[in-house]
Amino acid sequence: MEARRYLQDIGGQVSADFVKNRSILSFEEYVTLFFNDPRHQSRNAAQYLHDVMDHYGTEQVPHPTGTIRRFKVFDVPSSDRDGRVAGQEEVQNSIYRLLGNFVRAGRINKLILLHGPNGSAKSTLVNALKAGMEDYSRQPQGALYRLGWIFPSEKLIKGSIGFGERVPAATDDVTTYAHLDAEAIDVRMPCELNDHPLFVVPPPERRKMLESALKKKGLGTGDGESGDFILSDYIRDGELCHKCRRIYAALLTSYGGDYLKVLRHVQIERFYISRRYQMGTVTVEPQMSVDAIAQQITADRTQLNLPAALHGVVLYEPHGPLVHANRGLIEYADLLKRPLEAFKYLLGFSETAQVPLEPFVLQLDEVLIASANEKHLGAFKELPDFASFKGRIELVRVPYLRRYKLEQEVYDAEITLTSVGKHVAPHATEVAAMWAVLTRLKKPIPERYAQDVKELVDHVTPLEKMHLYEEGRAPARLSLANTKELKKLRTDLYEESDAYPNYEGRSGASAREIKTALFNAAQSTDYKCLHPLAVFEELQAICQDKSVFEFLQQEVVDSYHDHEEFVREVEGQYLDLVDSEVRDSMGLVSEGQYRELVERYIQHVSHWVRGEKLRNRVTGEMERPDEQRMAELESIVMPKGEDAGEYRRGLISSIGAHRLDNPDAEMDFARIFPDMFKRLRDHYFEERKRVLRKNKENVLKYLSEERGQLTPREQTQVESTLKTMADKYKYCEYCAKDAILFLMKKRYT
């Protein structure tokens, strides 16, 4: 009884959802729905995908060029574990712009070709769009409908299943067969092409109907001039597919031209985008076979299964990826790996939205997205046929990521305790991401810059360029003036090679290769965690295999492409991070003390620049800024050779610029002057190196068999340090010990 009650509850919910979602409608009910919401029911595939991207909204995110719009659909509204797209906002905006062009043109007249190196997230971008379409199609505003045909059984209507003989008077009042029970239906014929329900209305009357509905809702006439909405050619002029047209014509003839009786056989069904079941979206892998075929259904079914009026009509059902993806999106993965003849039909299809088959011509409405790597695209450009394709393709470049925090997001999504079977130590994925990004960077070309900054640009190292892209951080070695100048050049450096065939981000380690290295590092028996030290070993191993990894064969140019050296540089970055975290966990000095020191210094500098006095906190007297106090701090934080006056004026100028860019943000000197705080911390700990070394040795003793040699006070201090490292930085005892041992060996011995 409990099982029955449980199933009844489920059944009740399924039935309620079926009714709520308006899954089955008669044509009259659909027309009512259309007049209530003509915009959503008059979209072609480009408008639908454009709305999908709009539906999930956007946000402004930091970018080396300032800020950039990110579409939240690429954060994946589905349950895909690794489906989020890290970065690639430029690509997102390019896709959105192209869809907007299709909307304004009223037709999808080009193929979008995503091109870039292997593993640059081309497929991930398209999968995120598909996942968004799936989710959106389940929302009320994303509802999609298609037509089908219903032929009632002789139990309901005597004679030839609803036509061919006169229907008895008792059934003349029937307005639709759409809602008949299954036992009252002899044949139900769906449309394989998901034909739009409005195609049942002849084009001339349909245009009037569309314009009238749009006008009533204040959307103009669909021409884009009288309102925002633009009617596509597909909705305005599209026609029924071959099979539906034959059925429609046979019914109209059978009923002596009575259009309303024909509509009784129309059933409108809501359908949902589905990747798994290839409904409204399909991925075509490289293959030799064609993408659409037609099959005669009247030849392989008994004549008795079809209505009498159709016995003499030859009907064909189209099949294939192009058919299944109609009214949605079709993806051609690695398109250029296919022989040219296998996709040459796209020349006509991308322009006319039609594909000729032997018995008829397919009329399709779908967004075409393809992907290709740079090698295949380069070879394709050399073919004579490329000139024909060029005007029908929109190229969208998808480079490797050049910001290591975004690269790290790619690995963090997959490298987890569950996937590797052990704790992932802090910075394990971060150091891998740093190395990957360093392998992708190109040396700037000084000749592209003004004469006064050529030398500055020429001396930027890969590591410095990586930090400039990620945090906007200039090297500590530079003067304040050069620091400002380099930060201004951040956008120019980032976009410098956009016009080059061999652009920055075209070559280097791919995310797939780094993921493999991380999984291999997790198998190391030397560490109980997936530790950065194991990752360094795997990166070193990659550097030795130049015959497998093409990017390793690049010539070293002023430290760029020196991949083995990059491992050592990333190791140094890791040591800096661990050193900082251990220091902070020991609580030798609080961050608040640094902030207070800098705030007081800035206060004095501000009054000094303006030539004003400030009030002494103790005496209350108005005094000149304390030169000695300022000089003491400047001896620590000011780059060597810098003029104190210029340095002070530069600081105040930077604060003013920050206020202009962030008028509502709270003043955070640690964010504005990160190098100043770093120099302060390093100076403090350099002076206390002996104490720091002793404390780290105590931690190692505590984690070994020598714990008993520590005094109770020392044990308490170590436990506090380890607790902070665990709570704040996610270390366990094993990876903390390995990290501190490595740090002691490299920095404190």
The string of DSSP codes covering 49-81 is: HHHHHHHT-EEEEEETTEEEEEEGGGG-SS--T
Could you tell me the pLDDT band of residue 294, with boundaries at 50, 70 and 90? low
Q: What is the mean pLDDT of residues 360-377?
A: 89
pLDDT of residue 301 exceeding 50 = no
Domains of the chain, first to last: 19-398 (3.40.50.300), 404-586 (no CATH), 593-667 (no CATH)
Is 606 in contact with 651 (CB distance < 8 Å)? no
Give the span between the Cα atoms of 517 and 537, in whole angstroms: 9
- Per-residue pLDDT at 587: 79
Tokens 């970018």, residue located: 63
Long-range contact pairs involving 71-75 (C-beta distance under 8 Å, separation at least 24): 71/96, 73/128, 73/129, 73/132, 74/125, 74/128, 74/129, 75/128
Is 533 in contact with 527 (CB distance < 8 Å)? yes
Give the span between the Cα atoms of 492 and 503, in whole angstroms: 14
- Per-residue pLDDT at 142: 93
- Count of other CB atoms within 10 angstroms of residue 201: 19
List the Cα angle 330/336/341 in 5-degree steps: 90
- Report the interhelical angle of 511-522 vs 428-440 (nearest 10°): 150
Is 112 in contact with 95 (CB distance < 8 Å)? yes
Residue 639 identity: P
pLDDT of residue 613 exceeding 80 = yes
Nearest Cα to Cα of residue 472 among 677, 671, 682: 671
Give the span between the Cα atoms of 118 and 126, in whole angstroms: 15
- Per-residue pLDDT at 228: 78
Give 293's strand partners.
319
User: What are the pLDDT digits (tens) for 695-722?
Assistant: 888 888 888 888 888 888 888 888 898 9
Q: What is the mean pLDDT of residues 635-654?
A: 84
Mean model confidence pLDDT for the chain: 85
pLDDT of residue 685 exceeding 60 = yes
User: What are the pLDDT digits (tens) for 98-146?
Assistant: 999 999 988 898 899 999 999 898 999 999 999 999 999 999 999 999 9
Give the span between the Cα atoms of 102 and 202, in whole angstroms: 25
Sign of CA dihedral 675, 681, 687, 689: negative
Give SS3 for 114.
strand
Could you tell me whether strands 361-363 and 316-319 are parallel, antiparallel, or unpaired per DSSP bridges? unpaired
Give 223's strand partners.
230
Could you tell me the pLDDT band of residue 289, with boundaries at 50, 70 and 90? low
Give the span between the Cα atoms of 342 and 557, in whole angstroms: 42
Q: What is the mean pLDDT of residues 294-311?
A: 59
pLDDT > 70: what percent of the chain? 89
pLDDT of residue 149 exceeding 80 = yes
Is 535 in contact with 426 (CB distance < 8 Å)? no
How many CA atoms within 13 Å lie on the side-chain side of 128? 24
- Per-residue pLDDT at 711: 86
Could you tell me the pLDDT band of residue 628, with boundaries at 50, 70 and 90? confident
Among the residue ranges 8-22, 290-304, 588-602, 658-672, the one predicted with the least confidence is: 290-304
Could you tell me the pLDDT band of residue 561, with boundaries at 50, 70 and 90? very high
Among the residue ranges 99-103, 481-485, 512-516, 688-692, the one predicted with the least confidence is: 688-692
Residue 49 identity: L
pLDDT of residue 745 exceeding 60 = yes
- Count of other CB atoms within 10 angstroms of residue 409: 17
User: What are the pLDDT digits (tens) for 1-40?
Assistant: 566 665 566 666 665 655 555 688 999 999 999 999 999 9
List the Cα angle 380/441/484 in 5-degree steps: 130
285/265: higher pLDDT: 265
Written as one string, the DSSP assignment of 643-691 is -HHHHHHHHHHHHHHHHHH-TTSPP-HHHH-HHHHHHHHHHHHHHTHHH
Is 99 in contact with 132 (CB distance < 8 Å)? no
User: What are the pLDDT digits (tens) for 330-358?
Assistant: 999 988 888 887 787 888 888 788 888 87
Could you tell me the pLDDT band of residue 517, with boundaries at 50, 70 and 90? very high
- Per-residue pLDDT at 575: 93
Nearest Cα to Cα of residue 47 among 351, 346, 329, 333: 329
